[in-house]
Each structure stands twice: as C-alpha cells, then as structure tokens.
C-alpha cells in the first residue's frame, strides 16, 4: 500500500509542478463544483465546532483542541498531526514536550491556494495509517480544522475507501460545517485521488 501511495503522491506533485497548475490558476469544472458545494454548506464561524470524529480512530480539530490536554485524554488521542505554519509551532512544541505520552508530528504549512500541500501527503498519510494500524487514535488539526487538516483527512479517507471526493468532502462538512479546503488544496486532492485510484491502482 505504501509503495502505491508514495508513487501517487510523487506523481501528484510532479503533475502540478510540470503543468504550473497552481501558478497558472488552472481550475477544473469539477473543482469549481466542489468549492461551490462546500461554500453553500459552510456555516458562519461564530463559535469553533467541537473536535470531530470523521473516520474510525480519526478526529479532525483545531489548534485549541490540539492544546487541550483533558480533551485529548477524554477522546483517547494517542497521536496528533499538526498542519500549521511556523508561527503556531512554538506553543505546540512546548505543549507536546510536556505531554510526552502523545506522539506528535508537525508539518509546516500555510493555508494558501498556491501552497504545495501535496508534498506532505505521503509522510502525513503514512504516519496516520501506521498510528491507526497499531491501535492508536489520531487527531489531525490546523488552526480552524477547516482547510489544511481537512485536506489531509479527505486524502486519507479517499485512500481507504472508494467514495467520490465530492461525497467525502460533503460527508465531512455535514459532520463539521466549517470544512472548506481552499481551491488550491481541492485541485491537489482531485489529482491525488485520480493518481491513487487510476494511475497507480493495484
């Protein structure tokens, strides 16, 4: 599985780079449709939604959730994947230096439509898969639990199921109304799902 995943992730990034998809603002009809669907469903962010169980042994949340030790204990979280920028990293590093019983993986990422989040698809998905395979419970978060972390979680669900990307994202948004990956991340997700399911299908 991991060989296939690595090939699909590498091919995704190569395709995006070779075709300058993010720089040239190339947006497919299907990505526009996804973005419109999520925009219609998205709720106004008046209060942060609670940490959300989106798949077996997998939670989606925000920065506050990731820094809430009682909540992490209550949910049985054993591993935390942080998809945040360096400006958010100091508090996280200090927190997990104190809470050593929880394994922590940090990926420095901006919530920008031109950011190559696909560079983190393989290491993040590999980490999540291994943690769950060994009986762990994983929280994936960014600042709001809406774009960066939601993209990684959607990629994981796409890898583990045959659901369409539209169904995955709409199901996630039903559970967590703020879910709305930026359009650049949606482009990368769409290409990754195609590469994983069709180009490198086992």
Q: Which of 9, 13, 118, 142 is catalytic?
A: 142
Please report which helix (H) or strand (E) contains residue 104, including its range.
strand 103-108
Inter-CA distances, 40 with 34, 102, 169, 174, Å = 10, 36, 13, 12
Answer yes or no: 129 catalytic.
no
Q: What is the 3-state secondary structure (H, E, C) of 29-90?
A: HHHHHHHHHHHHHCCCCCCCCCCEEEECCEEEECHHHHCCHHHHHHHCCCEEEEEECHHHHH
Question: Which residues are catalytically annotated?
Answer: 142
């Amino acid at each position: 599985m991991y060989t296939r995943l690595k090939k699909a992730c590498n091919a995704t990034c190569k395709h995006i780079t070779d075709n300058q998809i993010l720089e040239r603002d190339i947006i497919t009809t299907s990505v526009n449709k996804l973005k419109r669907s999520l925009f219609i469903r998205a709720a106004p962010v008046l209060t942060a939604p609670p940490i959300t169980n989106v798949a077996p042994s997998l939670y989606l949340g925000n920065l506050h959730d990731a820094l809430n030790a009682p909540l992490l204990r209550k949910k049985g979280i054993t591993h935390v994947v942080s998809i945040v920028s360096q400006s958010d990293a100091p508090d996280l590093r200090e927190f997990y230096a104190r809470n050593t019983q929880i394994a922590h993986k940090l990926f420095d990422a901006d919530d920008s439509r031109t950011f190559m989040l696909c560079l983190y698809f393989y290491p993040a998905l590999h980490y999540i898969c291994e943690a769950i395979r060994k009986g762990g419970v994983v929280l994936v978060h960014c600042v709001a639990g809406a774009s960066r972390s939601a993209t990684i979680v959607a990629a994981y669900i796409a890898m583990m199921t045959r659901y369409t990307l539209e169904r995955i994202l709409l199901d996630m948004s039903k559970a967590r109304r703020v879910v709305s990956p930026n359009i650049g991340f949606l482009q990368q997700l769409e290409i990754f799902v195609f590469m994983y399911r069709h180009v490198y299908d086992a």
